[in-house]
Amino acid sequence: MQLFGFEFKRKVDLDVAPSFAPKEQEDGAVVIAAGGSFGTYVDLDGTVRTEAELVTKYREMSLQPEVDAAVDEIVNEMVSLDEKDLVEIELDNLPDVPESIKKKIREEFESCLNILDFRKHAYEIMRRWYIDGRLYYHVIIDEQDTKSGIKEIRYVDPRKIRKIREIAKRRAKGGIDNGESVIPKTQNEYYIFNDKGFNYGNKTTGPSTTGLRIAKDSILHVTSGLTDTQGTMVLSYMHKAIKALNQLRTLEDALVIYRLARAPERRIWYIDVGNLPKMKAEQYVRDIMVKHKNRLIYDADSGAIRDDRKFMTMLEDYWLPRREGGKGTEVTTLPGGQTLGQMDDVLYFQKKLLQTLNVPINRLNSDALFSLGRATEVSRDELKFSRFISRLRGRFSQLFLNLLGKQIILKQIMTIEDWENIAGDIKFDFAKDNYFTELKDGEILDNRINLARNLQDMLGKYYSHEWLRKNVLQMSEDDIEEMDKEIKKETDSEDPRWINPAIMQNEMGEQQMMQGQQQMQQQQQQDTDQKAAADDAQVAVDPKHDENVRKMQTAKATYDLLAQKKNRTLSDESKFKSAALILAKNK
């Protein structure tokens, strides 16, 4: 089959382990039998006939004030346009990839952002993807010099292009029916572009195989990941808001009509027609109506009398005839509506619309004040909204991943197979304007540090240091190993910036205690020698008594030294208590 554009040559997949279950797809491609024709037939609740009508419906919804405000809030939350780097690529999960390749991948990612002109049109690209639920770009390269990479990409209207997947089926072994047990296999994939679009009014079928066939690799295609119940139609994140928006608009229109009709007070004229026949009674009522509705005005400039008849349909009176025997002619008033100020039903459907769009209600409330409070004080709606934005970023990042993959393969930095192996480990970090995540992470870390500080007195006695690092600080084996290496590197460097004052003070205290003990031992040795020289003729001193004296002197020196030390470790506390106990026993 002759296709427009370029296509990467891949290894032929052999059916080593075929499956009867077809591969799950989220691209909304039209599945046809290999060698068959292409026609469109989609019925969504009898209202949306084609994908083009669905996209048009989403765009019409985005013009409504409530939906536009919600979409604007979501897109602004997805990326912070005030930052210098809107998106950064993370390659930390690729330990087996050489640094030279990582450097080239980062360079090509910057090139892809320039091709998209993402820094300038980030808001428009994200908004278009969120509303339509899909993005199509035509990738343009120089076929004479493919190593130069992508030259340009151009946006394609999703109402003019469709993805086609040809499926070949073969009979499965072990089937018990008459040839209906088959194993599907994708034979070919391509796109069909029709400049007139695939929307033919209310027709449910389009022309067969019309349009330009385009190679799969020449199109950059990203979807929302949402499909209908059949899995054949890609939906936008706004799809579930269609019903809520229609209900809100219907209720608002009905409310306006009711208020216009019931707001003014009306007069009710009961006209006494006596025993007049029906024809004459009706004529009499009409005469009364004309008499009271006519407005005679005297014009002082011309001296003429002018008859102005101004009828307002909203303010028409009611004229009712009354027969003889009842009351006479009477004029009363019909009061206006009494519940015109109630808006509870409108507010309910407005709240329901915002819930379908996953936007917290207080964000679109003009009376709400913005504040950066504690993470523990953030509402659950804000937490759910933050997770929803994270999912949107992850799905939208497929645009960067697909574009980067084509650029890497075209420039022969990596093969198709190598790229597919590492593509799942590449992450993208979006510039965040919401400080909730930062506040939450800061408070969690602060709580862990405080808990670890409170457990210092129990370390080495009830808990081990390794247990504290794993269960309190929530550090993994890799984190502990990496942190130990960094601590050793900083310690060996002897850089004064990395010196911990508390550790330095403890080390100095231990050194002073060791020096004091050494000096005390030397003094004891000198005293012993002098006493031995002076008392050579005397009876030898009792060895047990000398040992008690030395213990007393050592305990006294240790007690005095540790009593002056402010931050004592567990070992220091043990020595201090032992010295105090010895001194207490030998007073």
3-state helix/strand/coil string of 392-423 = HHHHHCHHHHHHHHHHHHHCCCCCHHHHHHHH
- Quote the DSSP letter at residue 169: E
What's the average model confidence in pLDDT over 378-402? Answer: 87
Give the model confidence (pLDDT) of 551-584 as tens digits: 787 888 888 887 777 667 767 777 877 888 787 7
pLDDT (mean) for 430-439: 67
Q: How far is CA 185 from CA 8, 16, 28, 441, 448, in A?
A: 20, 13, 17, 47, 53
For the ranges 379-383, 468-472, 495-499, the one whose mean pLDDT is highest:
468-472
Residues 6+ apart with CB under 8 A from 160: 52, 193, 194, 195, 196, 197, 198
Strands 87-90 and 427-430: antiparallel
Candidates 67, 16, 7; CA nearest to 242 is 67
- For 101, 105, 321, the CA distances from 429, given in Å and listed in that order, are 20, 15, 80
What is the model's pLDDT at position 14? 47
What is the tens place of the pLDDT at every residue in 399-428? 999 999 999 999 989 888 888 889 888 999
For residue 312, what pLDDT is reported?
A: 44
Digit-coded pLDDT (tens) for 522-541: 777 777 777 766 655 444 44
Q: What is the pLDDT of residues 131-164, one digit of tens each?
A: 999 999 999 988 888 888 898 999 999 988 888 8
State phi, psi for 484 to the nearest 5 degrees.
-65, -40
Give the span between the Cα atoms of 67 and 571, in whole angstroms: 66
CA–CA separation, 291 and 295 (whole Å): 8
Q: pLDDT class for 440, splitting at 50, 70, 90?
A: confident
b/e sequence 468-499, b meaning 16+ C-beta within 10 Å = bbeebeebeeeeeeeeeeeeeeeeeeeeeeee
| Angle (nearest 5°) at CA 565 between 562 and 569 | 80
Residue carrying structure tokens 């014009």 = 299
Q: Which residues pair with 388 in a beta bridge?
A: none
Q: Residue 124: name the closest of 65, 64, 66, 62 by CA.
A: 62
- Going by the DSSP 8-state scheme, the letter that residue 241 receives in this structure is G
Query: Residue 43: which of 240, 239, 202 has the closest Cα?
Result: 202
Q: What is the pLDDT of residue 238?
A: 92
Q: How many CB atoms lie within 10 A of CB 22?
A: 14
Q: What is the pLDDT of residue 71?
A: 93
Q: What is the residue-wise DSSP string for 12-70?
A: PPP-SS--SSPPP--S-PEEEETT--------BTTTB-SHHHHHHHHHHHTTSHHHHHH
Token code pair at residue 142: 């120089």
| Three-state SS at 264 | coil
3-state helix, strand, coil in the chain (%, to 5): 50, 15, 35
On whether the CB atoms of residues 586 and 548 are closer than 8 A, the answer is yes
Cα gap 226→26, rounded to integer Å: 7
The whole-number pLDDT of residue 585 equals 72
Lowest mean pLDDT segment, chosen from 48-62, 323-337, 368-382, 523-537:
368-382
Is the pLDDT score of 517 beyond 70?
yes
CA proximity to 52, closest of 63, 64, 40: 40
Q: What separation, in Å, do the N-terminal and C-terminal C-alpha atoms of the chain show?
A: 106
Q: Which residues pair with 272 in a beta bridge?
A: 322
Token pair of 533 as six digits: 């020289």
The mean pLDDT of the chain is: 77
CB 166 within 8 A of CB 188: yes
**What is the phi/psi pair of residue 186, to 5°?**
-70, 120
Residue 111 — pLDDT band, cuts 50, 70, 90?
A: very high
Predicted confidence band of residue 301 (pLDDT cuts 50, 70, 90): confident
Q: Residue 187 to residues 23, 208, 218: CA-CA distances in angstroms?
A: 13, 19, 18
- C-alpha span between 392 and 396 (Å, rounded): 6
Quote the percentage of the chain above a pLDDT of 70.
72
Rg (CA), the chain: 43
> Higher confidence at residue 149 or residue 312?
149
Q: Look up residue 141 and give its two tokens.
A: 């390269």
> 368: which DSSP letter?
P
Tokens of 478: 């890799």
User: Taking a C-beta distance cutoff of 8 angstroms, is the pair 254, 335 a contact?
Assistant: no
* Band of residue 314 on the pLDDT scale cut at 50, 70, 90: very low
Higher per-residue confidence, 17 vs 207? 17
State yes or no: pLDDT of 46 exceeds 50.
no
Q: Identify the weakest region by mean pLDDT among 64-78, 323-337, 402-416, 515-529.
A: 323-337
- Picking from 427, 458, 396, the residue whose alpha carbon sits closest to that of residue 220 is 396
Instruction: List pLDDT tens digits, range 226-280.
Output: 888 877 788 999 999 999 999 999 888 888 877 777 777 777 777 888 788 888 8
